[in-house]
Amino acid sequence: MTMSGAPVHEVLGVACAWLLIGALGLLRPASVDWTTRFLYPAGAVAGLALAAIALSAIFQPAASVVLPLGLPDLPFHVRLDALSAFFLLLLGAVSAGVSIYACGYFRQAQGTSLGLVCLYFHVFLASMALVMVADDAYFFMVSWETMALSSFFLVTVDHDHAEIRKAGYLYLLIAHLGAIAILLCFGALQAGTGDYTFEHMRALQPSASWATAAFLLALVGFGAKAGIVPLHVWLPEAHPAAPSPVSALLSGVMLKTAIYGLIRVTFDLIGSPLWWWGVLALALGLVSALGGIVFAAVQIDMKRLLAYSSIENIGLIFAGLGLTIIFHGFGMGALAALALTATLFHCLNHAVYKSLLFLCTGSVLHATRERSLGRLGGLIRRMPWVAWCALIGTIAIAGLPPSNGFASEWLLLQAFLFTPGLPHGYLNMLVPVAAASVALTAALSGYVMVKFFGVVFLGQHREARLAEAQEAGVWERTGLAWLAAACIFLGLVPATAIGLLGPITRALTGHGIGNLAQGWLFLAPINAERASYSPLLVFAVTSLLVAVAWLAVRAFYHGRACRAAAWGCGFPDQNARMQDTAEGFGQPVRHVFEPFFRLEQHEPAPDDANPRFSSSAEDRLWYWIYLPIARAVAYLTALVTLLQRGRISVYLAYSFVTLLALLLFIR
């Protein structure tokens, strides 16, 4: 336990600063200026500071401190190592953008006073930071549940609507169940010694069975938080319910804390994962990825769509993690490092572009009070800033070059291409299939994002009042620009970001990836001969070609253009209703992936006075898993209430029988 950790103290300082800022929010809970002029900007500065600290801390040796708080035998242990630092960097960088954006967003109170929202917001940030530096089970759980609780209050900020309350309830319930599972996992790891420090858990070498139990519990617990299928049901409810900056944090950062936790437990605390755990994680991940994106394709609420796409991305991350575990389990350290790099890099990218997109939906929501894709459209002309930022996010999330999303998916696919080397007959045949489904998912996300961007920003206004939509304010635009810039940076020079991951992979898998040999320009995980990719060059060449083409056309011909009504095959009266709706855009996917859905369609009869068409595609799992559980519990409760029928003789009989039973039992 080295006490030489300046960064640790600084991280704690930032966390305290956030808590303080939150508390200050209660001073003048009703004042808009107080929160948006001072507190949120201060929070953003703290976020930047955190990012800077974390950046410096990644390459420093792990340092830890002990706080004079906590349980008597278990003070709060805090430790900052490369892994924590990386996720703190993620948190700081994203939260900075979101906080700036929040200055413009939280301007009128809905249901909850602004000061209270400010408190929740910053407690949420602080608790996430603490989760990532906690070094004993108790502190971890305290921060973890505080995170869940504060985010619950954030989700239900506008608690007048019953469905929002319901969403928050479902979220907190699943989060709590997950937390109990994590808690039990730590219980399994401390093995009855009563020593809950991670230090001690690292030292212990659990038996295979205990390790497996711990891993499975962790998988359930963290999977519930990450929204992995089948524990994902809360996610598409909670994300739309929350205010957009909160959705951005939930999806961008909080889901990543679950990934952090799983990595921490699997590679750090348990230490020696078994390969088949990886298969489990891989399978779950792929199912989530495919399921998530397929459901995203049929959504008609833009935030739900993004929420489902979060499930997809988390699925990809889990797949990468599973691959890491498989490689690690077979002792193929270098490949494990590659897979882990891809995983972590994808975490970072998803954090950036998903929060960017959620913030864009926030601006759209602000400008139009409208969340349903069916009533949006053509906003690129009303709010170009938001539209272009959204376009960047769209390209990134669709995994197209030269964006950061493509870079991480490229790495992931590279990792998959090595799996035929696995010393296990079935695996190396299964994994090509896995690679295929990853490719399919990536392609589908392209489909989904075209739907998202095209329906929201392109085409004609589907509602007349959209013509009055206002461009986002300067605070909001700053926040968007910050995240968009991050997307571009990570996309064009991924090598620099991946350089940060070296210490982590070395610490967890014992290997780095031979990337930096190629310099910052090229991304060559194994060697240039095998595969290399330089987004910057691709981008340069492409834009050069575009410019040349443009100039050449201007030079050889002309640049004249005139405006006229849309042609549309000469139909006399085109109107906005003739555009493809969100449902229509989802129709092919609904058609192709029919088994995924619980479809309910209502076509109008031919002789219908006012014909209506409605179709809903619901999640089967809800009917296969959750409702049966609910029914079973209801049945049990009905059974139990028979104990309490109000007749005193019966009550006496209970204690009498108990007495006799015990007396017989000891005979």
Judging by beta carbons within 10 Å of its beta carbon (0-12, 13-18, 19+), is residue 41 exposed, middle or buried?
middle
3-class SS of residue 425: coil
Q: Which 642-661 positions form the footprint of another protein (CB under 8 A)? A: 643-649, 651-656, 658-660
Min CB(86)–another protein separation in Å: 25
Does 191 engage in binding with another protein (CB under 8 A)?
A: yes
Does 663 engage in binding with another protein (CB under 8 A)?
A: yes
Contact segment (CB under 8 A) with another protein among 34-42, 251-259, 567-575, 611-619 equals: 567-575
Backbone dihedral region of 227: left (phi > 0), alpha (psi from -120 to 50 degrees) or beta? Answer: left
Cβ-contact 615, 600 below 8 angstroms: yes
Does 601 engage in binding with another protein (CB under 8 A)?
A: no
Label the pairing between strands 74-80 and 63-71: antiparallel
Please give the helix or strand (H or E) that residue 188 lies within, else none: helix 162-190
Task: Spell out, one character per residue from 121 to 160, where the chain touches another protein: x when CB under 8 A holds, - when not.
Answer: ----------------xx--xx--xx-xx------x--xx
Q: Which 326-345 positions form the footprint of another protein (CB under 8 A)? A: none
Q: Which 71-130 positions form the footprint of another protein (CB under 8 A)? A: 71-73
Cβ-contact 93, 54 below 8 angstroms: no
Q: For residues 164 and 181, what is the distance between their CA atoms, to the nearest angstrom?
A: 26
Min CB(72)–another protein separation in Å: 3
Q: How far is CA 216 from the centre of its chain?
A: 21
Min CB(215)–another protein separation in Å: 14
Closer to another protein by Cβ: residue 54 or 238? 238
Q: How far is CA 224 from the centre of its chain?
A: 12
Does 528 engage in binding with another protein (CB under 8 A)?
A: yes
Closer to another protein by Cβ: residue 7 or 405? 405
Closer to another protein by Cβ: residue 95 or 414? 414
Q: Which 623-642 positions form the footprint of another protein (CB under 8 A)? A: 633-634, 636-641
Q: Which 196-255 positions form the footprint of another protein (CB under 8 A)? A: 196, 213
Please give the helix or strand (H or E) that residue 312 lies within, else none: helix 302-329
DSSP conformation letters of 397-422 = HTT-TTSHHHHHHHHHHHHHHTGGG-
Closer to another protein by Cβ: residue 331 or 584? 584
Choice from 257, 404, 408, 414 touching another protein (CB under 8 A): 414
Is the CA virtual torsion 440, 441, 446, 451 positive or negative? positive
Is the CA virtual torsion 206, 207, 212, 217 positive or negative? negative
Q: Which 160-189 positions form the footprint of another protein (CB under 8 A)? A: 160, 162, 165, 168-169, 172-173, 176-177, 180-181, 183-184, 186-188
Closer to another protein by Cβ: residue 152 or 475? 152
Choice from 26, 27, 429, 599 touching another protein (CB under 8 A): 429
Q: Which residues contact 654 (CB under 8 A, 6 or more apart)?
A: 643
Contact segment (CB under 8 A) with another protein among 226-234, 312-320, 446-454, 617-625 equals: 446-454
Of the candidates 164, 458, 441, 437, which has an alpha carbon nearest to the alpha carbon of residue 309? 441
Does 666 engage in binding with another protein (CB under 8 A)?
A: yes
Does 435 engage in binding with another protein (CB under 8 A)?
A: yes
Does 26 engage in binding with another protein (CB under 8 A)?
A: no
Min CB(426)–another protein separation in Å: 11
Contact segment (CB under 8 A) with another protein among 316-324, 342-350, 406-414, 597-605 equals: 406-414
Does 613 engage in binding with another protein (CB under 8 A)?
A: no
Does 464 engage in binding with another protein (CB under 8 A)?
A: no
Min CB(368)–another protein separation in Å: 16
Block residue for tokens 């107080």: 34
Block residue for tokens 């996720």: 87
Closer to another protein by Cβ: residue 6 or 173? 173
How many residues bind another protein, per CB under 8 A? 149
Q: For residues 22 and 27, what is the distance between their CA atoms, to the nearest angstrom?
A: 10
- The encoded tokens of residue 633 equal 């519990």
Does 543 engage in binding with another protein (CB under 8 A)?
A: yes
Does 537 engage in binding with another protein (CB under 8 A)?
A: yes
Of the candidates 345, 369, 160, which has an alpha carbon nearest to the alpha carbon of residue 244? 369
Closer to another protein by Cβ: residue 423 or 510? 423
Choice from 190, 299, 313, 363 touching another protein (CB under 8 A): 190
Does 385 engage in binding with another protein (CB under 8 A)?
A: no
Choice from 474, 541, 555, 627 touching another protein (CB under 8 A): 541
Choice from 530, 608, 614, 631 touching another protein (CB under 8 A): 530
3-class SS of residue 224: helix
Does 280 engage in binding with another protein (CB under 8 A)?
A: no
Does 322 engage in binding with another protein (CB under 8 A)?
A: no
Q: Which residues contact 81 (CB under 8 A, 6 or more apart)?
A: 62, 507
Contact segment (CB under 8 A) with another protein among 98-106, 278-286, 561-569, 618-626 equals: 561-569
Does 622 engage in binding with another protein (CB under 8 A)?
A: no
Choice from 13, 374, 459, 473 touching another protein (CB under 8 A): 459
- Long-range contact set of residues 51-55: C-beta below 8 Å, sequence gap at least 24: 51/88, 51/89, 51/92, 51/93, 51/96, 52/92, 53/7, 53/10, 53/11, 53/14, 53/88, 53/92, 54/7, 54/11, 54/85, 54/86, 54/88, 54/89, 54/91, 54/92, 55/85, 55/89, 55/500
Cβ-contact 316, 257 below 8 angstroms: no
Rg (CA), the chain: 26
Min CB(488)–another protein separation in Å: 15
Tell me 526's DSSP state.
S
